[in-house]
Structure 1
């Protein structure tokens, strides 16, 4: 049902609650304020996706932009991946390079 004077805003009632939507979309979709759609576990990039992007030479900012994530979130994911791979911080080796080398070795054809 359209609101009088505004044909775009629709109202309906479910289980005793009033729900307003724009163009028939649920109001929860309209209140989402992050950079992009919310990421569920199923559509988050895998460790392999991060490592592939590292192997392409992307910085944390580049990865964040490509995945619509914050740089902080990318840093946390990469830290967890480095831990999983056993790539520890040390002054002699670069973690990113070591992680990419492991990725390339595992995916060599």
Structure 2
């Protein structure tokens, strides 16, 4: 059973417990990433429906929506500020439906001024 995801990394200390981070790196493509401060996070919501999970995170000036499969562990890691980075599933893994680990299929970052 493989629970290591290629789409995100949960920071672990020497004793194996999650280590809180100051920033979250969101890799929206192979050529672009955003850094957001965990200290500016004010709301997070995890929803699971059929074979699609959605994690919505609101920061001071940004809203992030992450979509994929089996993202509960990622959401719990966000709760403890232990997630170092989140990136899209590499194309060669996107069909791995039987994978035990979470797969991130979409990342949307929206600045506050862009909201309707």
TM-score (ref. length: structure 2): 0.19
Give the structure with the larger strand fraction: 2
- The structure where helix makes up a greater share of residues is 1
Higher relative contact order (CA 8 A, sep 6+): 2
Structure with larger Rg: 1
Give me the TM-score of the superposition, normalised by structure 1: 0.19
